[in-house]
Structure 1
Amino acid sequence: MARVVIQAVVSVDGFIARPNDSVGPLFDWYFNGDTELSARPSGWTFQVSPTSADYVQPFWDSIKVTVIGRHLFDTTNGWDGKPAAGEQLVVVTHRPLPEQWLADHPDAPFHTADSVEAGVALAKKLAGDGLVAVTAGDLGGQAFSAGLVDEVEMDVVPVVLGEGVRFFGSHAGTVLLDDPDRVVQGDRVLHLHYKVKR
Protein backbone atom coordinates (compact mmCIF):
# COMPACT_ATOMS: atom_id res chain seq x y z
CA MET A 1 0.00 0.00 0.00
CA ALA A 2 1.31 3.45 -0.90
CA ARG A 3 2.64 5.78 1.80
CA VAL A 4 1.82 9.50 1.67
CA VAL A 5 4.38 12.11 2.71
CA ILE A 6 4.05 15.90 2.86
CA GLN A 7 7.37 17.45 1.85
CA ALA A 8 9.07 20.80 1.23
CA VAL A 9 12.05 22.97 1.98
CA VAL A 10 11.06 25.21 4.91
CA SER A 11 12.38 28.12 6.95
CA VAL A 12 12.90 27.78 10.70
CA ASP A 13 9.67 29.73 11.26
CA GLY A 14 7.66 27.39 9.04
CA PHE A 15 7.43 29.08 5.63
CA ILE A 16 8.00 27.41 2.25
CA ALA A 17 7.92 30.63 0.21
CA ARG A 18 7.54 34.38 0.57
CA PRO A 19 4.07 35.95 0.11
CA ASN A 20 4.87 36.48 -3.61
CA ASP A 21 5.79 32.75 -3.99
CA SER A 22 9.54 33.43 -4.36
CA VAL A 23 11.80 31.19 -2.28
CA GLY A 24 14.63 33.60 -1.52
CA PRO A 25 17.47 31.83 0.35
CA LEU A 26 15.47 28.62 0.94
CA PHE A 27 17.00 26.88 -2.08
CA ASP A 28 20.60 28.11 -1.63
CA TRP A 29 21.67 24.72 -0.27
CA TYR A 30 20.81 23.16 -3.64
CA PHE A 31 23.86 24.92 -5.09
CA ASN A 32 26.48 25.04 -2.30
CA GLY A 33 28.17 21.65 -2.68
CA ASP A 34 30.15 19.49 -5.06
CA THR A 35 27.94 16.38 -5.24
CA GLU A 36 25.30 16.07 -7.93
CA LEU A 37 21.67 15.61 -6.93
CA SER A 38 19.31 14.73 -9.77
CA ALA A 39 15.54 15.15 -9.91
CA ARG A 40 14.02 12.56 -12.20
CA PRO A 41 12.31 12.62 -14.67
CA SER A 42 12.63 16.40 -14.92
CA GLY A 43 16.40 16.07 -15.41
CA TRP A 44 17.12 18.99 -13.10
CA THR A 45 20.48 18.73 -11.38
CA PHE A 46 21.79 20.43 -8.28
CA GLN A 47 25.14 20.56 -6.48
CA VAL A 48 24.76 19.79 -2.78
CA SER A 49 26.89 18.47 0.04
CA PRO A 50 27.62 14.72 0.00
CA THR A 51 25.54 14.31 3.16
CA SER A 52 22.49 15.97 1.59
CA ALA A 53 22.90 13.96 -1.61
CA ASP A 54 23.06 10.70 0.36
CA TYR A 55 19.80 11.58 2.10
CA VAL A 56 17.79 13.35 -0.60
CA GLN A 57 18.60 11.26 -3.69
CA PRO A 58 17.11 7.99 -2.33
CA PHE A 59 14.10 9.91 -1.04
CA TRP A 60 13.46 11.58 -4.41
CA ASP A 61 14.03 8.28 -6.22
CA SER A 62 11.41 6.55 -4.06
CA ILE A 63 8.65 8.99 -5.05
CA LYS A 64 6.27 7.43 -7.57
CA VAL A 65 3.58 10.14 -7.75
CA THR A 66 3.52 13.80 -6.72
CA VAL A 67 0.31 15.65 -5.83
CA ILE A 68 0.22 19.41 -6.34
CA GLY A 69 -2.43 22.14 -6.31
CA ARG A 70 -3.52 24.29 -9.22
CA HIS A 71 -1.66 27.33 -7.91
CA LEU A 72 1.69 25.52 -8.02
CA PHE A 73 0.84 24.12 -11.45
CA ASP A 74 0.15 27.64 -12.76
CA THR A 75 3.20 29.14 -11.02
CA THR A 76 5.57 26.57 -12.58
CA ASN A 77 3.72 26.12 -15.90
CA GLY A 78 3.31 22.48 -14.94
CA TRP A 79 7.10 22.08 -15.03
CA ASP A 80 6.74 21.84 -18.81
CA GLY A 81 5.07 18.45 -18.56
CA LYS A 82 7.76 16.71 -16.50
CA PRO A 83 7.10 15.95 -12.83
CA ALA A 84 9.76 17.42 -10.55
CA ALA A 85 9.80 14.08 -8.72
CA GLY A 86 8.08 10.82 -9.43
CA GLU A 87 6.84 9.17 -12.57
CA GLN A 88 3.38 10.75 -12.55
CA LEU A 89 1.71 13.84 -11.18
CA VAL A 90 -1.80 14.61 -9.94
CA VAL A 91 -3.06 18.19 -10.04
CA VAL A 92 -5.89 18.99 -7.64
CA THR A 93 -8.01 21.55 -9.46
CA HIS A 94 -11.61 22.57 -10.12
CA ARG A 95 -10.70 23.83 -13.59
CA PRO A 96 -9.45 21.86 -16.59
CA LEU A 97 -5.78 22.23 -17.39
CA PRO A 98 -5.19 24.86 -20.09
CA GLU A 99 -5.89 23.56 -23.60
CA GLN A 100 -2.68 25.06 -24.97
CA TRP A 101 -0.62 23.44 -22.21
CA LEU A 102 -2.21 20.07 -22.97
CA ALA A 103 -1.52 20.56 -26.70
CA ASP A 104 2.11 21.48 -25.98
CA HIS A 105 2.59 18.49 -23.64
CA PRO A 106 0.44 15.65 -25.02
CA ASP A 107 2.54 12.93 -23.36
CA ALA A 108 2.77 14.55 -19.93
CA PRO A 109 2.02 11.94 -17.23
CA PHE A 110 -0.34 14.37 -15.49
CA HIS A 111 -3.78 13.59 -14.07
CA THR A 112 -6.39 15.82 -12.43
CA ALA A 113 -8.69 15.41 -9.45
CA ASP A 114 -11.33 17.80 -8.11
CA SER A 115 -10.56 17.39 -4.38
CA VAL A 116 -7.65 16.66 -2.11
CA GLU A 117 -9.23 13.37 -1.08
CA ALA A 118 -9.73 12.29 -4.70
CA GLY A 119 -6.23 13.45 -5.63
CA VAL A 120 -4.53 11.47 -2.89
CA ALA A 121 -6.69 8.40 -3.62
CA LEU A 122 -5.75 8.56 -7.32
CA ALA A 123 -2.08 9.08 -6.49
CA LYS A 124 -2.08 6.06 -4.15
CA LYS A 125 -3.67 3.92 -6.84
CA LEU A 126 -1.07 5.06 -9.40
CA ALA A 127 1.81 4.57 -6.94
CA GLY A 128 1.00 0.98 -6.00
CA ASP A 129 3.32 0.19 -3.09
CA GLY A 130 5.43 3.31 -3.73
CA LEU A 131 5.65 6.73 -2.16
CA VAL A 132 3.21 9.58 -2.82
CA ALA A 133 4.61 13.07 -2.20
CA VAL A 134 2.10 15.83 -1.46
CA THR A 135 3.53 19.32 -1.78
CA ALA A 136 3.39 21.40 1.37
CA GLY A 137 1.33 24.59 1.58
CA ASP A 138 -2.45 24.85 1.35
CA LEU A 139 -2.90 21.54 -0.49
CA GLY A 140 -0.58 19.66 1.87
CA GLY A 141 -2.24 21.26 4.88
CA GLN A 142 -5.65 20.11 3.65
CA ALA A 143 -4.36 16.55 3.17
CA PHE A 144 -2.74 16.68 6.62
CA SER A 145 -5.95 17.98 8.25
CA ALA A 146 -7.95 15.22 6.55
CA GLY A 147 -5.68 12.53 8.03
CA LEU A 148 -4.36 11.47 4.61
CA VAL A 149 -0.66 11.98 5.41
CA ASP A 150 1.50 9.20 6.87
CA GLU A 151 4.86 11.00 7.02
CA VAL A 152 6.33 14.51 7.19
CA GLU A 153 9.64 15.30 5.49
CA MET A 154 11.15 18.76 5.74
CA ASP A 155 14.44 20.29 4.70
CA VAL A 156 14.86 23.05 7.30
CA VAL A 157 16.98 25.98 6.22
CA PRO A 158 18.51 28.30 8.86
CA VAL A 159 16.60 31.42 7.86
CA VAL A 160 13.62 33.24 9.35
CA LEU A 161 11.35 34.62 6.62
CA GLY A 162 8.83 36.25 8.96
CA GLU A 163 5.87 35.78 6.62
CA GLY A 164 4.79 33.82 3.59
CA VAL A 165 3.31 30.48 2.61
CA ARG A 166 3.12 28.17 5.63
CA PHE A 167 4.35 24.56 5.42
CA PHE A 168 1.01 23.26 6.70
CA GLY A 169 -1.09 25.93 4.99
CA SER A 170 -4.07 26.92 7.12
CA HIS A 171 -4.11 23.64 9.09
CA ALA A 172 -5.32 24.16 12.63
CA GLY A 173 -5.40 21.70 15.48
CA THR A 174 -2.98 19.35 17.14
CA VAL A 175 -1.52 16.32 15.40
CA LEU A 176 1.16 14.26 17.11
CA LEU A 177 4.18 12.99 15.21
CA ASP A 178 6.59 10.27 16.28
CA ASP A 179 10.12 11.32 17.18
CA PRO A 180 12.13 11.98 14.02
CA ASP A 181 13.47 8.73 12.61
CA ARG A 182 15.92 10.57 10.36
CA VAL A 183 17.89 13.69 11.31
CA VAL A 184 20.61 14.56 8.81
CA GLN A 185 22.71 17.71 8.98
CA GLY A 186 23.69 18.99 5.55
CA ASP A 187 25.41 22.24 4.62
CA ARG A 188 22.96 25.05 5.47
CA VAL A 189 20.07 22.57 5.75
CA LEU A 190 18.75 20.06 8.28
CA HIS A 191 16.83 17.11 6.84
CA LEU A 192 14.06 15.80 9.13
CA HIS A 193 11.66 12.89 8.68
CA TYR A 194 8.73 12.04 10.94
CA LYS A 195 5.90 9.51 10.92
CA VAL A 196 2.43 10.66 11.89
CA LYS A 197 1.22 9.01 15.11
CA ARG A 198 -1.79 6.78 14.49
Structure 2
Amino acid sequence: MGSVIMHNVVSVDGFIADKNDDVGPLHEWYFNGDTPIEGDDEFDHSGSGSPFKVSKASAEYVRSTWTAIGTIVMGRTLFDLVNGWEGRPPTGDHVVVVSHRPKPEGWHPEASYHFVDDVKAAIDKAQELSGDRLVAVNAGEVGGQILAAGLVDEVAMDVVPVVFGSGKRYFGGIDGQHLLEDPHVVIQGEGVLHLRFKVRR
Protein backbone atom coordinates (compact mmCIF):
# COMPACT_ATOMS: atom_id res chain seq x y z
CA MET A 1 0.00 0.00 0.00
CA GLY A 2 1.19 3.47 -0.81
CA SER A 3 1.61 6.10 1.89
CA VAL A 4 -1.08 8.68 2.57
CA ILE A 5 0.14 12.27 2.39
CA MET A 6 -1.98 15.28 3.35
CA HIS A 7 -0.93 18.13 1.10
CA ASN A 8 -1.82 21.72 0.27
CA VAL A 9 -0.49 25.20 -0.31
CA VAL A 10 -0.96 27.23 2.87
CA SER A 11 -0.49 30.72 4.30
CA VAL A 12 1.98 31.31 7.12
CA ASP A 13 -0.93 31.45 9.58
CA GLY A 14 -2.39 28.16 8.41
CA PHE A 15 -5.13 29.00 5.89
CA ILE A 16 -5.71 27.38 2.49
CA ALA A 17 -8.23 30.00 1.31
CA ASP A 18 -10.20 32.93 2.63
CA LYS A 19 -13.78 32.57 3.88
CA ASN A 20 -15.04 32.86 0.28
CA ASP A 21 -12.71 30.07 -0.92
CA ASP A 22 -10.45 32.57 -2.71
CA VAL A 23 -6.81 31.42 -2.60
CA GLY A 24 -5.47 34.92 -3.24
CA PRO A 25 -1.67 34.85 -3.79
CA LEU A 26 -1.21 31.27 -2.55
CA HIS A 27 -0.65 29.83 -6.04
CA GLU A 28 1.46 32.63 -7.53
CA TRP A 29 4.68 30.67 -6.98
CA TYR A 30 3.50 28.14 -9.57
CA PHE A 31 4.06 30.81 -12.23
CA ASN A 32 6.88 33.05 -10.86
CA GLY A 33 9.92 30.97 -11.81
CA ASP A 34 11.83 30.07 -14.94
CA THR A 35 11.78 26.26 -14.73
CA PRO A 36 8.81 24.39 -16.23
CA ILE A 37 7.65 21.28 -14.48
CA GLU A 38 8.59 18.59 -17.00
CA GLY A 39 5.70 16.97 -18.80
CA ASP A 40 4.06 20.37 -19.34
CA ASP A 41 0.90 18.95 -20.91
CA GLU A 42 0.58 16.41 -18.10
CA PHE A 43 0.76 19.03 -15.35
CA ASP A 44 -0.88 22.05 -17.04
CA HIS A 45 -4.33 22.35 -15.51
CA SER A 46 -4.28 26.11 -15.11
CA GLY A 47 -6.75 26.56 -17.95
CA SER A 48 -4.44 29.13 -19.51
CA GLY A 49 -2.59 26.80 -21.85
CA SER A 50 0.66 27.77 -20.11
CA PRO A 51 2.76 25.30 -18.17
CA PHE A 52 3.60 25.84 -14.55
CA LYS A 53 6.96 27.63 -14.21
CA VAL A 54 8.56 27.57 -10.79
CA SER A 55 12.03 27.91 -9.30
CA LYS A 56 14.50 25.09 -10.01
CA ALA A 57 14.31 23.87 -6.40
CA SER A 58 10.50 23.82 -6.48
CA ALA A 59 10.42 22.12 -9.90
CA GLU A 60 12.50 19.18 -8.69
CA TYR A 61 10.39 18.79 -5.55
CA VAL A 62 7.00 19.19 -7.24
CA ARG A 63 7.93 16.88 -10.11
CA SER A 64 9.08 14.07 -7.81
CA THR A 65 6.03 14.44 -5.56
CA TRP A 66 3.41 14.68 -8.28
CA THR A 67 4.75 11.76 -10.30
CA ALA A 68 4.57 9.57 -7.17
CA ILE A 69 0.84 10.24 -6.64
CA GLY A 70 -1.67 7.66 -7.82
CA THR A 71 -4.91 8.96 -6.30
CA ILE A 72 -6.20 12.26 -4.90
CA VAL A 73 -8.74 12.33 -2.07
CA MET A 74 -10.81 15.51 -1.89
CA GLY A 75 -13.97 16.84 -0.28
CA ARG A 76 -17.16 17.77 -2.09
CA THR A 77 -16.62 21.51 -1.54
CA LEU A 78 -13.38 21.50 -3.53
CA PHE A 79 -14.88 19.18 -6.15
CA ASP A 80 -17.72 21.65 -6.69
CA LEU A 81 -15.40 24.68 -6.70
CA VAL A 82 -13.18 23.32 -9.47
CA ASN A 83 -15.83 21.07 -11.08
CA GLY A 84 -13.50 18.13 -10.44
CA TRP A 85 -10.90 19.70 -12.75
CA GLU A 86 -13.25 18.65 -15.58
CA GLY A 87 -12.28 15.02 -15.05
CA ARG A 88 -8.54 15.71 -15.40
CA PRO A 89 -6.87 15.81 -11.95
CA PRO A 90 -3.66 17.86 -11.68
CA THR A 91 -1.77 14.66 -10.94
CA GLY A 92 -2.48 10.99 -10.45
CA ASP A 93 -4.86 8.71 -12.31
CA HIS A 94 -7.80 8.57 -9.91
CA VAL A 95 -9.83 10.79 -7.57
CA VAL A 96 -11.91 9.78 -4.56
CA VAL A 97 -14.46 12.36 -3.42
CA VAL A 98 -15.81 12.26 0.14
CA SER A 99 -19.44 13.27 -0.19
CA HIS A 100 -22.93 12.29 0.91
CA ARG A 101 -24.11 13.24 -2.58
CA PRO A 102 -23.39 11.01 -5.60
CA LYS A 103 -21.40 11.99 -8.65
CA PRO A 104 -23.42 14.43 -10.78
CA GLU A 105 -25.44 12.54 -13.35
CA GLY A 106 -23.64 12.36 -16.70
CA TRP A 107 -20.50 14.09 -15.35
CA HIS A 108 -17.38 12.94 -17.27
CA PRO A 109 -18.20 9.20 -17.31
CA GLU A 110 -14.74 8.47 -18.71
CA ALA A 111 -12.96 9.85 -15.62
CA SER A 112 -11.88 7.60 -12.73
CA TYR A 113 -13.72 9.52 -9.99
CA HIS A 114 -15.27 7.61 -7.10
CA PHE A 115 -17.72 9.06 -4.58
CA VAL A 116 -17.85 7.64 -1.03
CA ASP A 117 -19.47 8.99 2.14
CA ASP A 118 -16.89 8.00 4.76
CA VAL A 119 -13.26 9.01 5.23
CA LYS A 120 -12.02 5.50 6.03
CA ALA A 121 -13.80 4.10 2.98
CA ALA A 122 -12.23 6.92 0.95
CA ILE A 123 -8.69 5.98 2.02
CA ASP A 124 -9.37 2.27 1.50
CA LYS A 125 -10.61 2.94 -2.04
CA ALA A 126 -7.75 5.35 -2.79
CA GLN A 127 -5.12 2.83 -1.65
CA GLU A 128 -6.77 0.09 -3.69
CA LEU A 129 -6.62 2.34 -6.78
CA SER A 130 -3.08 3.61 -6.11
CA GLY A 131 -1.31 0.33 -5.39
CA ASP A 132 2.20 1.29 -4.28
CA ARG A 133 1.85 4.93 -5.32
CA LEU A 134 1.03 7.80 -2.95
CA VAL A 135 -2.46 8.79 -1.90
CA ALA A 136 -2.65 12.60 -1.74
CA VAL A 137 -5.30 14.02 0.59
CA ASN A 138 -6.31 17.64 0.05
CA ALA A 139 -6.18 19.68 3.25
CA GLY A 140 -9.28 21.26 4.77
CA GLU A 141 -12.24 19.72 6.61
CA VAL A 142 -11.99 16.29 4.98
CA GLY A 143 -8.20 16.24 5.31
CA GLY A 144 -8.48 17.12 8.99
CA GLN A 145 -10.98 14.30 9.52
CA ILE A 146 -8.65 11.82 7.82
CA LEU A 147 -5.72 12.96 9.98
CA ALA A 148 -7.86 12.74 13.15
CA ALA A 149 -8.82 9.18 12.16
CA GLY A 150 -5.12 8.21 12.16
CA LEU A 151 -5.04 7.55 8.41
CA VAL A 152 -2.37 10.08 7.36
CA ASP A 153 1.32 9.10 7.19
CA GLU A 154 2.78 12.49 6.25
CA VAL A 155 1.80 16.15 6.22
CA ALA A 156 3.17 18.25 3.34
CA MET A 157 2.84 22.03 3.28
CA ASP A 158 3.84 24.52 0.60
CA VAL A 159 4.04 27.59 2.84
CA VAL A 160 3.58 30.95 1.10
CA PRO A 161 4.68 34.20 2.81
CA VAL A 162 1.25 35.74 3.29
CA VAL A 163 -0.96 36.14 6.38
CA PHE A 164 -4.69 35.64 5.75
CA GLY A 165 -5.92 36.33 9.28
CA SER A 166 -9.01 34.19 8.77
CA GLY A 167 -10.50 31.75 6.31
CA LYS A 168 -10.44 28.00 5.62
CA ARG A 169 -7.94 26.24 7.87
CA TYR A 170 -5.39 23.71 6.60
CA PHE A 171 -6.52 21.18 9.20
CA GLY A 172 -10.19 22.17 9.14
CA GLY A 173 -11.92 22.01 12.50
CA ILE A 174 -9.72 19.24 13.89
CA ASP A 175 -9.82 18.76 17.68
CA GLY A 176 -6.96 17.83 19.98
CA GLN A 177 -3.23 17.62 19.45
CA HIS A 178 -1.64 15.50 16.76
CA LEU A 179 2.14 15.17 16.96
CA LEU A 180 4.41 15.29 13.93
CA GLU A 181 8.08 14.42 13.61
CA ASP A 182 10.67 17.06 12.74
CA PRO A 183 10.44 17.99 9.05
CA HIS A 184 12.37 15.57 6.85
CA VAL A 185 11.96 17.81 3.78
CA VAL A 186 12.76 21.53 3.92
CA ILE A 187 13.17 23.14 0.49
CA GLN A 188 13.31 26.89 -0.11
CA GLY A 189 11.73 27.88 -3.42
CA GLU A 190 10.87 31.34 -4.71
CA GLY A 191 7.84 32.59 -2.84
CA VAL A 192 7.29 29.22 -1.16
CA LEU A 193 8.80 26.93 1.47
CA HIS A 194 8.19 23.20 0.99
CA LEU A 195 7.90 21.22 4.23
CA ARG A 196 7.10 17.56 4.90
CA PHE A 197 6.52 15.98 8.30
CA LYS A 198 5.91 12.34 9.16
CA VAL A 199 2.96 11.81 11.51
CA ARG A 200 4.15 10.53 14.87
CA ARG A 201 2.62 7.15 15.74
Length-normalised TM-score, structure 2: 0.93
- Following the alignment from structure 1 to structure 2, what is the Cα–Cα distance between the partners of residues 171 and 12? 18
CA deviations 1:70-105 (Å, max 9, x no partner) are 11111111110111221101011111111142xxx1
Residue number among 179, 189, 192 corresponding to 2:192 in the alignment? 189
Aligned to 1:21: 21
Residue number among 91, 103, 109 corresponding to 1:97 in the alignment? 103
List 4+ stretches of structure 1 deviating above 4 A: 38-42
Given residue 28 of structure 2, which amino acid in structure 1 is its aligned partner? Answer: D
- Following the alignment from structure 1 to structure 2, what is the Cα–Cα distance between the partners of residues 39 and 3? 26
Task: Give 5+ residue unaligned stretches, structure 1.
Answer: none
Report if aligned partners of 1:93, 1:112 keep a CA contact under 8 Å in 2.
Answer: yes
Residue 43 (structure 1) shift: 3.6
Report if aligned partners of 1:41, 1:83 keep a CA contact under 8 Å in 2.
Answer: no
Length-normalised TM-score, structure 1: 0.95
Given residue 55 of structure 1, which amino acid in structure 2 is its aligned partner? Answer: Y
Residue number among 68, 71, 74 corresponding to 1:62 in the alignment? 68
Given residue 197 of structure 2, which amino acid in structure 1 is its aligned partner? Answer: Y
Aligned to 2:48: none
Aligned to 1:149: 152
Task: Give 5+ residue unaligned stretches, structure 2.
Answer: 46-50
Residue number among 136, 139, 147 corresponding to 1:136 in the alignment? 139
Given residue 168 of structure 1, which amino acid in structure 2 is its aligned partner? Answer: F
What is the aligned residue count?
195
- Following the alignment from structure 2 to structure 1, what is the Cα–Cα distance between the partners of residues 148 and 24? 28
Report if aligned partners of 1:32, 1:187 keep a CA contact under 8 Å in 2.
Answer: yes
- Following the alignment from structure 2 to structure 1, what is the Cα–Cα distance between the partners of residues 114 and 123? 11
Residue 42 (structure 1) shift: 5.6
Given residue 2 of structure 2, which amino acid in structure 1 is its aligned partner? Answer: A
Query: After the TM superposition, which of the residue ranges 31-40 and 3-12 deviates more from structure 2?
Result: 31-40
Matching of residues 1-198 of structure 1 within 5 Å: 1-37=1-37, 41=42, 43-44=44-45, 45-101=51-107, 105-198=108-201
What's the RMSD between the two structures over aligned residues? 1.3
